[in-house]
Chains A and B, each alone.
Chain A
Amino acid sequence: MSLLEIKNLVVETNGKVILNGVDLKIKTGEVFALLGPNASGKSTLAKTIMGLPEYKIKKGEIVFKGKDIKRLALEKRVKEGIALVFQNPPALQGIKLEKLLNLISKKKSGYEEKHLNLLERDVNVNFSGGEKKISELMQVLALNPDLMILDEIDSGLDIKKREEVVNIIKEKVKDGMSVLIITHQGEILEQINPNRVGITMEGKIICESTDFRKVLKNIKENDYAKCRQCKKM
C-alpha cells in the first residue's frame, strides 16, 4: 500500500488553477524526486500536501496512510506524519530556534549539538541559505515524520552544507522515512539516489521514471523541451 496517494488533484490559489490533475504515489521508505521548470506546480504540490490554507483543493484526493486528509488542518497533518522543509521560510523575530524546537517536540533531531550557534539565534533572522536549510531540517526531523517533503532543499547550499544535508537525508531514508524531494536543479539527486523521479509541467506530473540519471541527462541536453514534446505526443 502507498504511504501517500494523490488522485486527480486540482488546486487553485488566488483564483488561478495551479495544479490540474496531479496523480502521485509514494511508498513507505521510498524517495521520489520531482523535477520541473519554474512555475510548473512543484512547490504548490508540496504546500498542498502539507495543507497550507491558501491552496484550495477543487477536485481530487490526498490519501495518506489510507485516509483522505484533504480536509485535515495543517497541524493535524503534521500529527499524521507529514512535514515540510520550506523553500523560503519566514523570519521569526524574537523567537529563538532552541525555543521553537522545544515547542515542536521534546525529542531532538540529533543535529542540534553541531549547530549550537544557530539555536541561540532568532529563527531565520539573518540566516544564510545553508543555515536556513539546516534549521528547517532540525525542525522537521524533531517531528520524526513518516513523509518528509523537501522543497528546493539544495538551493543556496555550498558544497560542504550540501554534503551535510545529503547525509542527514540518507540516514533518515535508511531508517525507513519516505521523502518527496522537489528540485529545480536536480544535481542533488546524484547523491540522494531517488527510487523514482517525476516531471511536472503545467500543473501535472507528465512522466515518471525509475532511471533518474537518464531523466537528468535529457533535461541537461534539452532543458524541458523533450518533455514538452513528450507531452504533446
Chain B
Amino acid sequence: MPSADSVKKCNPDFLLIDNDVKFINKSEEVLILSSIDAWNSLNWTKKYFDGKPKGGYFIWVKKQIDFPLSTCVNIASFEVKQDLQNLMVIEEGIKAKANVLCSSLKNNLLGTHRAKGKLILKNGASLEYNHIHKWGSMDNVFPDYEFILETGSSLDYNYSNMFPPKELNIKNKIICGDNSSVNLSISINGIDSNIKIKEEVFLSGKGAQAISKLKLVGRKNSNIVAESSIIAKEKSKGHIDCQSLMIDNKSKISSIPLLVCENKDAQITHEASIGRVSEEQLNYLRARGLNEKQAIDLIVSGFLKA
C-alpha cells in the first residue's frame, strides 16, 4: 500500500482543494468529471447519487488502464466544510487500482469532511482501492461508502489513517454478488480521537467471499468503537479479524464483531483481540538505542502494517 507521501507526490487525476476542483486529468480510457458535472451530463449516474451532489468526483473506468488512478481531496483553509459525493464505476472485466488521499494540509484547520462514496464493480471487474486519510487533530471526518460488487468481481480495500481527526465516523457497506470477493483492511492509529467504525458486509451472492481485517491502536484519550459485521444471505464464506493495541490507560477500545447467518451452507467466522505492547519487543528496541516513545511508535506502525 502506498504511503500518504507517495500519493501526495504523484500527480493526481483529480485534485480538489477545499471545495474547488483544481485539476482533472483526461484520458481515453477513463472519464473523470466533478460529481456535479456527472449529474448534469450523464443521466444514468443519477440513480447512484444520493440527490444532486454539491461536490466530489465521478470516475468511470471504461477501458483497461495500465496506470493507477489517483485522487487528492485536501482541506487547505480554516473551517472549510466539504460535503462530497464520489462515484466510481469500473466496467466489466477491467482491472484497476486507485490511490485515494483525503487530507488536511495543516494540523489546526478545524475542517469538516463529509464524503458519501459509491463504488460499482461491474461483472468480473477488480479494484485495488487504497484509501489514505491524513487529518489535522481538530478536524471532523465522516466517510460513508458503499461498494457494490457484481458477479465475479473483486475488491481489495485498504484504508489507512495514521493521523486521525478529532472525530472520525466511518461507515462502509459492501454488497457482494455471486462469486465476488472482497478483502477489507482498515488500519487506524487512534491518537486523542473519537472514532466510530461501522462496517457491514453483505454476502448476497452464491460463492461470495469476504475477509475483513481491522487493526486499531488506542492512545492518548482515544475512544474507539468498531462494529464489523458479516451478513451471509447465500452459500458464502466470510471472516472478520479485529486486532487492537492499547497504548495507555486513558483510551478505550470497543471491538464488536457480528456474524449474521441466513443460509445453512454459509461459513462465517470471527476473531477479536485487544492487547498491549509487548515488553519483550519494547526492551529489544530500547536495547538498540531507541527511547520508549520511539520504540512504541515503531511497534505501532509495524502492528498496523503487518
Residues of B within 8 A of A99 (CB): 298
Determine which of A79, A89, A93, A105 lies in contact with B284 in the assembled complex, contact meaning CB atoms within 8 Å: A89
Check A225 for interface membership: any CB of B closer than 8 A.
no
Q: Are A94 and B306 in contact (CB under 8 A)?
A: yes
Docked pose: A89 CA to B287 CA in angstroms: 11
* Docked CA distance A52–B306 (Å): 26
B282-303 contacts to A (CB < 8 Å): 283-292, 294, 298-299, 301-303
Q: How far is the CB of A92 from chain B (nearest CB, A)?
A: 6
B294 and A94 form a contact (CB under 8 A) = no
State the interface size on chain B (CB cutoff 8 A). Answer: 23
- Digit string of A109-122 for contact with B (CB within 8 Å is 1, else 0)? 00000000000001
Write out, one digit per residue, whether chain A residues 77-118 have a CB within 8 A of any chain B CB (1) or not (0): 011000110100110111100011001110000000000000
In angstroms, Cα B287 to Cα A139, docked, is 10
Residues in A whose Cβ lies below 8 Å from that of B299 = 92, 95
Interface contact B280-A84, CB-CB below 8 Å: no
| Chain A interface, number of residues (Cβ within 8 angstroms) | 27
A171 within 8 A of partner (CB): no
Is A164 an interface residue when CB atoms closer than 8 A count as contact? no
**A90-B280, A94-B306 in contact; A52/B289 too (CB < 8 A)?**
no
Evaluate contact between B305 and A94: CB separation under 8 angstroms. yes
| B119: Cβ under 8 A from any A Cβ | no
Complex interface bits, B112-146 against A, C-beta within 8 A gives 1, otherwise 0? 00000000000000000000000000000000000
Q: Is the interface of B mostly helix, strand, loop or mixed?
A: helix
Contact B283 A78, beta carbon cutoff 8 Å: no
Whether the pair B278, A74 counts as a contact (CB closer than 8 A) is no
Report yes or no: B289 in contact with A93, Cβ–Cβ below 8 A: no
B298-A139 in contact (CB<8A): no
Interface-centre pick from B278, B279, B286, B305 (highest chain A CB count, 10 A): B286
How far, in angstroms, from A83 to B298 measured CA to CA in the complex? 20
A203: shortest Cβ distance to chain B, in Å? 22
A54 CA / B280 CA spacing, docked (Å): 10
Task: Say if the beta carbon of A53 comes within 8 Å of chain B.
Answer: yes
Contact B298 A103 (CB under 8 A): yes
A179 surroundings in chain B (CB, below 8 A): none
Q: How far is the CA of A54 from the CA of B288 in the complex (A)?
A: 17
Residues from chain B with a CB closer than 8 A to the CB of A33 are none
Known A93-B302, A94-B304: A143·B289 in contact at CB below 8 Å: yes
Q: Contact flags (1/0) for B259-283 with A, using CB distance below 8 Å?
A: 0000000000000000000111101
Partner of B288 from the list A52, A94, A100 (CB cut-off 8 Å) is A100
With contacts A74-B286, A84-B287 known, is A100 near B280, CB below 8 A? no
Are the C-beta atoms of B278 and A143 separated by less than 8 Å? Answer: no
A90-B284 contact given A75-B291, A100-B298, CB 8 Å threshold: yes
Pull 6 A–B residue pairs with CB atoms less than 8 Å apart, ordered by A: A75-B289, A84-B287, A90-B280, A92-B298, A93-B303, A100-B298
